[in-house]
Chain A
Amino acid sequence: MGATFYLFLVPSLVLFTLAITVPAVMGITLSFTDSVGFGEFRFIGLTNYVAMVSDPAILSSYGFTIGFALVTVLVVNVVAFLLAVGLTSRIRAKVALRTVFVLPMVISGIIIAYVFQFLFSNSLPQLGARIGSDVLAQSLLANEDLAWTTIVFVTAWQAIPSALLIYIAGILSIPGEVYEAAAMDGASSWRRLVSITLPLVAGYVVINVIIGFKNFLNAYDIIVGLTNGGPGTATRSVAMTIFSGFTGGDYAYQMANATIFFLIAVVLALLQLRVTRGKASVS
């Protein structure tokens, strides 16, 4: 009887180890070498890590990715929270509206990026020319200072649905009596939003911020589809920099980059575990 349970679990463990753990260990090991991806290599200690600290390509990709992730997290959460408040109020056509707002979640990032790339390089400049805006009349995608805004926009467009659903779940978990009591005390709807809804969904805000930050640090598809890292290297994300290890001859070096990236992901994972655990024990 007990043996069957092992048969249920062990295949997954074996495949998982081969497909996930072995590459992870291999990657971390190679990050201490001078491997170019094939042939001979030797261990060079922390040389790759030390070099990273003063590499402008690496630093600028981290700078871009972290800045982009922070802005996107802010945009996504503000919009998703407001939409969730709207979608949990007594509106009409609630089901249909929720269906529409969740839709972007199910569309491939690369394809939606191609669609927006066309809109940003054709429709928006036309509109810009018509309203007499010099900035918009040029393509934002070719503007070194503003290309990132298009990436924030499309990433947010696609990421808002899942944050929205989590906020809806959070708002629905607030007992109705709390609102009734507040209404009886004469609290305005704005007051109820700020003093009841917001504090009571604080845990969900933290979850959304961590999940969002983790996902946006990984940004790849949408950037490839919109700007492909350009103009120049203005919108090159960490993921794109790591993948440059395939062609640039700095295989082991980008392994070191990936390892640092992994450590950041681990910190975020631990943060999220702590927050969700804390929330579970409260409720």
Chain B
Amino acid sequence: MTQQTFATTGPAQVPVRRRRRLVWQGTEEHPNRPGTVVLLVCTVAVLLPLYATVTMAFKTTAQSVNGQVFSLPSPFSVEGFVEAWRLTNFPRGFAISVFVTTVTVLGTVALASMAAYAIARNWDRRFFRASFFYLLAAMFLPFPVLALSQVKLTGMVNLDNPVGVALLHVMFQLSFSVLLFTAFVRGLPEELEESAKLEGASTWTVFRRIVFPMMAPMAATVAIFAFLASWNDFMMPSLITADSTLQTLPVLQSVFQTQFSSNYNVAFASYLMAMAPAIVVYLFTQRWVMAGVTQGAIK
């Protein structure tokens, strides 16, 4: 898509005299061509490691050990994927990652949206206002601070497993998500809710039928961030989950660092399979990802 857009717009007719003034900003009629070229060159820094991952993954073991990382695979081989599938027990790791991530996303959206609605509509009551700041306080609490006690506590209550990991993921996502939802609900008009209540609808019905549907765009942002945080997390599952057969995909990748260190094609095929879902989700939802970062940081 990059190539195509770049090629079809054609050469810009920019008068030499004006162009010097417009080097970094450009105007509608006079696009900034040097800037475009510089940025295209910079994308190499992003794409090169990903390119290396893909080419390595499709090589044979013999090709992968010769050290020519950036050469194209010849012949194309899927033996790395087959072997990675078996070595990491991919279906099980994938299922556990999907489970943890699904529970995290659903739990975060449900708990945070309800809590935020309650807080936003009762801001004048001290209990709700205090709860808001209480939940928010954890936004800056680093996991390493809690790790030792959490590992101990989850072990004591038999949550040293994917269920416990998902629960902790929800709790760590709660601050950021409640913050986003609360700001969003404050911007929603209250008239609809009030008229529904006059007609006898309960708070729960109002939330489910009126408020939550209106929150959908923010729910998408919250869900994507919960998905990315949970799918990609390494620290928490690696510490909390006691049984190594119940590990998520990122943690499973360490097997290639210790046991199978020379089968690079297998390792890279495995890395690719573990990172691909996040990349695919990102490509389809980038609008919300981009909005979410700025809203979260600035508000």
Contact = CB atoms under 8 A, between A and B. Distances in A.
B210 interface: no
B147 A96 contact: no
B36 A217 contact: no
Interface in B127-150: 128, 131, 134-135, 137-150
A90 B140 contact: no
Contact of B5 (A96, A98, A218): A96
Given A98-B290, A243-B144, A108 B274 contact: yes
B149 A23 contact: yes
A124 B85 CA distance: 29
Interface string B113-129: 01101110110000010
Interface of A: 1-2, 4-6, 8-9, 11-13, 15-16, 19-20, 22-24, 26-27, 30, 37, 83, 85-87, 89-93, 96-112, 114-116, 118-119, 122-123, 126, 157, 161-162, 165-166, 168-169, 179, 183, 188-190, 192-193, 204, 207-208, 211, 214, 217-218, 220-221, 224-225, 238-239, 242-243, 245-246, 251, 254-255, 258-259, 261-262, 265-266, 268-269, 272, 276, 279-280
Given A89-B24, A162-B293, A280-B299, 8 more contacts: A1-B197, A8-B203, A9-B114, A12-B112, A99-B286, A189-B22, A214-B142, A272-B140
Contact of A97 (B27, B28, B43, B171): B43
Closest 5 A-B residue pairs measured CB to CB?
A90-B26, A269-B140, A23-B149, A4-B203, A108-B232
Contacts of A189: 21-25
B62 interface: no
Contacts of B111: 11-12, 15
Interface stretch (B45-53, B73-81, B87-95): B45-53
Contacts of A85: 24
B36 A102 contact: no
Contacts of B144: 218, 220, 238-239, 242-243, 258, 261
Contacts of B16: none
B257 interface: yes
B30 A90 contact: yes
Interface size class of B (residues with CB under 8 A): 35 or more
B67 A122 contact: yes
29 contacts: A5-B203, A6-B118, A9-B128, A12-B111, A20-B171, A26-B153, A37-B152, A86-B38, A86-B39, A89-B24, A90-B30, A91-B32, A102-B289, A103-B50, A103-B282, A107-B232, A112-B275, A114-B257, A165-B290, A166-B294, A179-B25, A208-B297, A218-B142, A221-B235, A225-B257, A242-B144, A254-B148, A265-B142, A280-B299
Contact of A1 (B6, B25, B203, B271): B203
Interface of B: 1-2, 5-6, 9, 21-28, 30-33, 35-36, 38-40, 42-43, 45-47, 49-50, 52-53, 56, 67, 69-70, 111-112, 114-115, 117-119, 121-122, 128, 131, 134-135, 137-153, 167-168, 170-172, 174, 178, 197, 202-204, 207, 228, 231-235, 239, 250-251, 253-254, 256-257, 264, 267-268, 271, 274-275, 278-279, 281-283, 286, 289-290, 293-294, 297-299
